[in-house]
Amino acid sequence: MAEIRKASSADKKLTLGEIVDLAENLGVRMSDIVIAEAMIAHDMTHDEVIRAVLDAFGFNLLALEIGLNRGNSFLLGSIGRELQACRKRGTAVIGDRFVDKAVVYTIATEVGNHEVGLQPCAGTGDSCVYTGLLKALLESRLSRLQVGRLAALMIKIGTYFKEGKKTTGCNMEGFGAGAACTAAALTEMRKGSPRQVAKAIVLAISPTIAVPCTPRVIVSGLCATHIGGAVLIGNLAANLALKTSIAVPIDVDVMLAMAANIHAAAAPAITTINLDYMRPYFKTQPVVDGFVAGSVLAAEQESGRHVLARAREKIRKFAMSANPLISPFGEAVVGGSSIAVGSPTNMGRIAHELAGGEVKKITIDLTSDLFARRAINVPGILMGAVLGASTKDIKAYHGVLKEITRRRIAVEIRHVTEPEVQRIRIEARGKSAFVDAMNRGGGRLKLVDARPSLAEAQAAAARLGIKLAEV
């Protein structure tokens, strides 16, 4: 307790990463640190903190029961009752009885939320996950004390997400916070160390970053996979942290801070697009719409009428340019990423076709995300540019840096701020070459310009079987 009192004070609360470090150093659980900090801050006993944490769920557990037994949501219908009936007969979701319970109870809580409301943490979405998981824990063989500790850990992490949530975004509540808190609770429940808990949290946050919320929450059904998915992702993250040696070097504070900043920056852009596509599917209230100017409603309806046609047109373009069913995959990409390695490597291959003679210098321009991943894509670019090697050439990928040194080829790598940009200049004794391209997934690229000519670059891509994107 003395160590915790020293580390924490009224004007300096512990960060999540500091809780991990302190728990690891003291050889205790993360929940022990969380509870001890609350004992000091509120002058309460251990039992009083546990009781207060569990009592805080009272109203939300009531909402869960309503959603499970008689609730009918205007967005989710009677999904709580339907899933509960499936669970009683056998498998409801994945066949793991505990995880099935947690998912069913989480979704039922959302139904209850639509019926009687819910006390929010970061929002009502993450409260659904905490409440559903808590009920599953209460019905397990764990003691009330053990459940209280896990609940305290969940809620502590949830309060950090609450402070990070500044605008709309399921990434900072139902999906993101829910997944992170589930991962933490399940990892500690399964006897994981504080470091393993932190690893699970980082793994759980990763796929939830920038995921939007509100515009989809007023469309029937979609919320179910957000909050139900939070439980499943949290369970996966916990198992990966506990059962594998997967390396996750990112500090949990860094991951949470990044998620919060991306949340604030991404929400305006994502929400605009979300509203554009989802508005025709929103649940409406005729009485409320009666208070809105007729011209505004007419404009909304007119815009909505074109959504499906625009979507069809866009997806038809995908269909027209998609790979044939019998040969769907591109060439294998050594280095692990078709967008970070495959597309830049293919740019290098095209430049190799355009150049001639002894290569003296190669200059590579990479946009921010590609520049950050230069450790994996530069070997690919160089093997394509110097050796003409394909994306699947493992030997060339691992040997090209030595070959560059042996040939005394000068290499310059530059960072450019324009998004998606990847460029290469080959200075050679015979014929120099330049390729200006936009990065695309699946090993594809869009050619913007080239020397000696764009037409020659397009022809080179065709000879090499490199798929060019039109947009």
Tell me which residue of 428, 467, 433 sits closest to 447, measured CA to CA: 467
Token code pair at residue 448:
């913007």
* Domain, as residue range, for 436: 338-464
Tell whether 242 is covered by a domain.
yes
Same domain assignment for residues 251 and 363: no
Beta strands in 95-250 (DSSP E): none
Residue 4 pLDDT grade (very low, low, confident, very high; cuts 50, 70, 90) = confident
What is the distance between the alpha carbons of residues 104 and 86, in angstroms, rounded to a whole number? 10
Residues 257 and 167 placed together within one structural domain of the fold: yes
Do the domain assignments include residue 320? no
Contacts (Cβ under 8 Å, ≥6 apart) of 182: 102, 129, 133, 154, 204, 230, 231, 233, 234, 235, 238
For 193-218, what is the mean pLDDT? 89
Has residue 215 got a pLDDT over 60?
no
Lowest mean pLDDT among 24-33, 192-201, 239-248, 285-294: 285-294
Question: 345 and 234 share a domain?
Answer: no
Listed residues 211, 236, 270: the one ending a domain: 270
Whether residue 45 is found in the same domain as residue 182: yes
Is the bond preceding 452 in cis, omega lying within 30 degrees of 0?
Answer: yes
The pLDDT of 182-188, averaged and rounded, is 99
Whether the per-residue pLDDT at 100 is higher than 80: the answer is yes
The strand pairing partners of 434, in sequence order, are 425, 451
User: Mean per-residue pLDDT for 270-284?
Assistant: 87
Q: Give the pLDDT of residue 260.
A: 96
Q: Please state, in angstroms and rounded to a whole number, the distance separating the CA atoms of residues 255 and 253.
A: 5
Cα(402)–Cα(395) distance, integer angstroms:
12
432 lies in some domain: yes
Condensed to tens digits (0 to 9), the pLDDT of residues 389-436 reads 999 999 999 999 999 999 999 999 999 999 999 999 999 999 999 999
Domain with residue 172: its CATH number is: 1.10.4100
Residue 11 has a pLDDT of: 67
**Domain-ending residue, one of 217, 236, 270:** 270
pLDDT for 358-382, tens place per residue? 999 999 999 999 999 999 999 999 9
Residue 229 has pLDDT above 60, yes or no: yes
User: Within this chain, do residues 169 and 23 fall inside the same structural domain, yes or no?
Assistant: yes
454/323: higher pLDDT: 454
Q: Clarify whether residues 238 and 344 are in a common domain.
A: no
Asked whether residue 314 is assigned to any structural domain, the reply reads: no
pLDDT of residue 17: 98
Query: What is the amino acid identity at position 408?
Result: R
Token code pair at residue 451: 């020397």
pLDDT band at 9 (very low <50, low <70, confident <90, very high): low
CATH assignment at residue 363: 3.30.1330.90
Asked if residue 140 has pLDDT above 80, the reply is yes
Determine the Cα–Cα distance for residues 310 and 280; give it in Å rounded to an integer.
13
pLDDT digits (tens, 9 = 90+) for 142-166: 999 999 999 999 999 999 999 999 9
User: Pick from 107, 115, 149: which is nearest to 131 by CA?
Assistant: 107
The confidence score (pLDDT) of residue 252 equals 98
Task: Specify if 114 maps to a domain.
Answer: yes
Are residues 208 and 109 part of one domain? yes
Domain membership flag for residue 323: no
* 265 plus 353 within the same structural domain: no
Cα–Cα distance, 218 to 233 (Å, whole number): 23
* 23-74 per-position pLDDT tens digit: 999 999 999 999 999 999 999 999 999 999 999 999 999 999 999 999 999 8
| Same domain, residue pair 455 and 342 | yes
Q: Residue 10 pLDDT more than 80? A: no
| 260 and 382 both lie in a single domain | no
Mean pLDDT of the chain: 94
Q: What is the number of domains present in the chain?
A: 2
User: Based on the domain organization, do 152 and 245 belong to the same domain?
Assistant: yes
Position 335 scores a pLDDT of 78
- Over 80: is that where the pLDDT of 336 sits? no
Share of the chain above pLDDT 90, in %: 79
Which of 216, 239, 270 is the last residue before a domain boundary?
270
Contact between 380 and 392 under an 8 Å Cβ cutoff? The reply is no
284 lies in some domain: no
Contact (CB, 8 A) for 133 and 174: no
Asked if residue 306 belongs to a domain, the reply is: no
Higher pLDDT, 166 or 254: 254
371 with 235, same domain? no
Question: How high is the pLDDT of residue 442?
Answer: 84
Confidence of residue 173 (pLDDT cuts 50, 70, 90): very high
Amino acid 91: pLDDT? 81
Q: What is the mean pLDDT of residues 178-200?
A: 99
